[in-house]
Amino acid sequence: MAGSIGIGAGRGSVHSRGMSVISPHLMRPSNRVILSVLALSVIGISFAAPLIRLSHAHAVVIATWRLFFSLLIVGAALAITGGWREWRTLDRTGFALAAGAGVLLALHFWAWNASIALTTIAASTVLVDLQPVLVAGASALWLREAPSPRQWLGIALAVVGAAVLGSADWRGSSASHASNAFLGDMLAFGGGVAAAIYYLTGRRVRQQLNLWPYVGIVYGVCFLTLLSISIASHLPLLQQPPRELAIFAALAVGPMLLGHTGMNWALKFAPAFVVNLAVLGEPVGATVLAALLPGIRELPSARTLVGGAIVLLGILVAVTRAAASSGGTAVSDSL
């Protein structure tokens, strides 16, 4: 299917291997509710990069503790709602996809957390947020949605913008700094690839599971993956100072539960293509926070601003369209 995808479930519904990803009988909330949840998610994820920059822990240690604190809350929600019973209804394919999404999320956290120590917050955040464009490309293969000429134009603009943005880190720097910045940019982009596949997978599985049972599997596998990496790498997980534990807990409450969980909620009612649009607000929020927070005070350069603007313009050209005017009235899933 060529063309853009809107928020409405009726138009732009997607298919995978002959299975409708959006059920025609699915009761869905209004577009206003979906957009409101996505707006709150943007606020949550915008705190991720600044909080990670403030931490002195290893990238994998940060992500492991972040998932640990998140699972405490998810576990409580599963116990209260009894949502864990839905796991019995999940077939092997669905479980494998959910578990795979957890591994991808772990790889995303590792790559992106590591990139923040090597490049600027603005560069890292914008490059990792190229994922909506990657989703558009993957949709042609997995979800049978070939991008339109307008969307390919947007993708080309985003690539040019990424080159301009990356050059802000390399120009005028020593060879060592330029090398680190390039590695950081590549890690951020790799984190975006992992996140793109994570959201595409979530779009499929969320039609079989409600929110808490789904994130219970995904966050659980993500935590075990990160824990395994930490142990295998002999990283210092325990005996973290109170300041670090506070940062880890803040990452769990804001970027993880408000941000990622809000977007996972939206995946049941809107295409992954649309849900990923929400991350476009993260570079703006993260860059503003990085400039304002006393422990960072990182002001973006003019080249960074220009490159980031071109990237965002390209993504907007590639994936935006007017939201479908109709929307459901009932919410069948809860946060």
What SS3 class is residue 187? helix
Assigned domain for 279 exists: yes
* pLDDT at residue 325 in the model: 34
Tokens (6 digits) for 258: 């408000």
Q: Determine the Cα angle at 316 with ends 156 and 151, to 5°.
A: 45
Assigned domain for 1 exists: no
Rg, C-alpha atoms of the chain:
19
Assigned domain for 117 exists: yes
**Where do the H-state alpha helices sit in the chain?**
31-46, 48-54, 59-81, 92-116, 121-128, 131-141, 149-170, 175-205, 211-232, 242-251, 261-266, 272-275, 282-292, 302-319
- Which residues span the domain enclosing 200? 27-319
Assigned domain for 134 exists: yes
Closest CA to 103 of 198, 206, 175, 8: 198
Assigned domain for 253 exists: yes
Assigned domain for 12 exists: no
Assigned domain for 88 exists: yes
DSSP 271-324: -HHHHGGGGGGHHHHHHHHHHHSTTT--PPPHHHHHHHHHHHHHHHHHH--PPP
Which pTM does this prediction carry? 0.75
* pLDDT at residue 256 in the model: 92
Domain count of the fold of the chain: 1
Give the helix/strand (H/E) hosting 16: strand 15-16
How far is 250 from 44, CA to CA, in rounded Å?
10
Q: Determine the Cα angle at 101 with ends 244 and 250, to 5°.
A: 20
Q: Are 8 and 327 in contact (CB under 8 A)?
A: yes
* pLDDT, one tens digit for every residue, the chain (335 residues): 333 334 444 334 444 443 444 443 446 777 778 878 888 888 898 888 788 888 899 889 999 999 999 999 999 999 999 999 999 888 899 999 999 999 999 999 888 878 877 877 777 777 777 777 777 777 667 766 566 677 678 777 877 777 676 666 555 444 445 567 788 888 888 888 898 899 889 888 988 899 999 999 999 999 999 999 999 989 999 889 999 999 999 999 999 999 999 999 988 887 776 677 667 667 667 777 777 777 677 777 777 778 778 877 876 776 555 333 334 444 445 45
Assigned domain for 194 exists: yes
